[in-house]
Structure 1
Amino acid sequence: MTRPSVLYVCVHNAGRSQMAAAYTRALSDGAVEVRSAGSAPADSINPAVHAAMLEEGIDLAAERPKLLTTDAVQASDVVITMGCGDACPIFPGKRYEDWQLDDPAGQGVEAVRPIRDEIKGRVTALLASLDVPVREAAR
């Protein structure tokens, strides 16, 4: 059996998609191949997102925003978009979901926490739909 692969896409790949990717890695305990990318990547991870994820025991310090490529979409079973609009290429046979989430750009950690928590819940549901066991804690 092969591992399912998930690609998370948002515009800057500095907040929402990074949080979702980090939760997927942590909660699936490596059972899912994870990618994240942006249609117009930022230079670095949003500092408030980094701080909010540290509160969960997940350090994004080594992560860097990446440019969305056609290859990344083709290599993924599931593509989750988060406000990237028409920038994400569509390929037959892929599962697509669009998660409507507030953008953490320019927000403080207090505003990022509810976004983070919603993403964690959505990732947990996604993993269940992929029949991937979820670890109890992300730490």
Structure 2
Amino acid sequence: MVGVTGRPSPEWTAPERVARPEDLDPRLLRLTGRTGRLQVVVEHYVPGAGRCPACGWPVLRRQECPSRQIAVCLLDGRPRPVRLAHLAEVIPGARTGRDTAAERDEQRRIEDGLLGLFTAPARAPERGQP
């Protein structure tokens, strides 16, 4: 077969949709505690392809919902995926790169002060700190 390439024809490719702040779950746009973030992850769980049941975002896999990805990153304390990096100024508590121990302590102090379903256990100091 001469002239066949592995790339789709340009007229068949659609531009990738970019997440905007109004596409995200509104709870992520304000300072939320761990309980609120877990609720976002649960509500935006997509068992298969189609649309996210909470925000309607078109997804091929459940990991592709931007609200779910940001909530998981906030829970794990890791930076967001590159395709969501443009939302850095909009989402409170979202990491954009490396942070210092003082920044982490301040963030933990704020999060520990938020109301939740139960009282938070006392935090142990980080490794290497007295």
Q: Please indicate, yes or no, whether the TM-score normalized by the shorter chain is above 0.5.
A: no
**Structure showing the higher helix proportion among its residues:** 2
**Structure showing the higher strand proportion among its residues:** 1
More contact order relative to length (CA 8 Å, sep ≥ 6): 1
Larger radius of gyration, structure 1 or 2? 2
With the length of structure 2 as denominator, give the TM-score of the two structures: 0.29
With the length of structure 1 as denominator, give the TM-score of the two structures: 0.27
